[in-house]
Amino acid sequence: MFRRITPFVLIALMLGMSALSSPATAQTTDSEVSVSVTPENPGPNQSVTISLQSFTIDLDTAEIEWSIDGKGLVRGIGYKRYTFTTKSLGAETRVTATITPTGQFPRTKTVIITPMSVDILWQATDSTVPPFYRGKALATSESTVKFVAIPQVQSVNGALIGTNQFLYTWRENFTSDQNRSGYGKNAISYSMDYLNPTKHVTVAISSLDGATSTAAEIDLTPDTQKLVWYESSPKYGPLYATALTGEHTVSGSDISLLVEPYFFSPGDRTSQEITYEWRLNGEPITPPRGAPNTLFLHRDTDSTGDASLALSVSNTSTLFQEARAQLLLHLQ
């Protein structure tokens, strides 16, 4: 599965002031010192750098002390950046920078970081696979893919917040999809485009009050359709445990072959939209009615040699879904 994980972070900025020995006080403003966090959405146990910027205070000559959760760690002139590692999922880290410009009162800047994670999962809803196939049905050209956003966000008591308690804003290839965005809408379906194959999907998530928000994105590139040959046994049926690749030796007088089309649309691999064109030694042959992906061959003589099978499968309801395969039979 693709998935791309984009972390969720709750960042709170608080601006304050430390009093000097004098009773005089002063009020700082948001424009005096600003903070940037890199990366913007840090995840659990991830290295994070906090940087200070100011247009009114000379930070290069100011004494700056950094502390985490009230414990002083480092102090020096011009220490405008500090790097630390976030805690586990949902565990809060409070980073405070105390800035004392030369001859002025101290300013404090506090950043609270609570790392969360957001997963985007996808599923090709109309991609064909054979029975009991244990792998993932891949997305191909013109197939329909469902994307699901699963935020891992904890409440103050440590419980996970339900996925239906957020606002979701979806974007397809950088175009906002307002009609299918909204409260609790954590899933959306898109069709893969042959002319623009890579599907870029973004979801922005926020709480109802807008206090917490994040965004996740994923790039999905379509795979191609495939044909896989199997031998079918009169006693056991299709032998899915062993695929036939390129060549196969036939020692008896009869052989029954099955071809499974992988990753076609629509979901029914034997539907009328899926056409099969068989050729034996270059000549077209007709498979049994009702089972176009199976072929039974009988040898009338005991002569040995080779026979070439070719198959072309296409989806008539789409423009570009097709696959071809060949199998060389060695008759013994």
Q: pLDDT digits over 100-146, tens only?
A: 999 899 999 999 887 777 789 999 998 988 888 889 999 998 899 99
- State yes or no: pLDDT of 12 exceeds 70: no
Radius of gyration of the chain (CA): 31
CATH homologous superfamily for 9-115?
Answer: Immunoglobulins (2.60.40.10)
Could you give the residue range(s) of every CATH 2.60.40.10 domain in the chain? Answer: 9-115, 117-220, 226-331
- pLDDT-derived band at 16 (thresholds 50, 70, 90) equals very low
Least confident of 62-66, 206-210, 230-234, 311-315: 206-210
Least confident of 18-27, 29-38, 161-170, 321-330: 18-27
pLDDT of residue 83: 96
Which one has a higher pLDDT value, 163 or 19? 163
Using DSSP's 3-state secondary structure scheme, residue 294 falls into strand
pLDDT of residue 312: 93
- pLDDT-derived band at 22 (thresholds 50, 70, 90) equals very low
Domain 226-331 has CATH 3.40.50.150: no
Fold for domain 117-220?
Immunoglobulin-like (2.60.40)
pLDDT of residue 51: 96
Say which amino acid occupies 304.
T
- pLDDT-derived band at 18 (thresholds 50, 70, 90) equals very low
Average pLDDT, the chain: 83
CA 55 to chain centre: 40
pLDDT of residue 21: 26
- State yes or no: pLDDT of 227 exceeds 50: yes
Which one has a higher pLDDT value, 295 or 97? 97
Which helix (H) or strand (E) segment holds residue 65: the answer is: strand 63-68
- pLDDT-derived band at 271 (thresholds 50, 70, 90) equals low
- pLDDT-derived band at 52 (thresholds 50, 70, 90) equals very high
- pLDDT-derived band at 92 (thresholds 50, 70, 90) equals confident
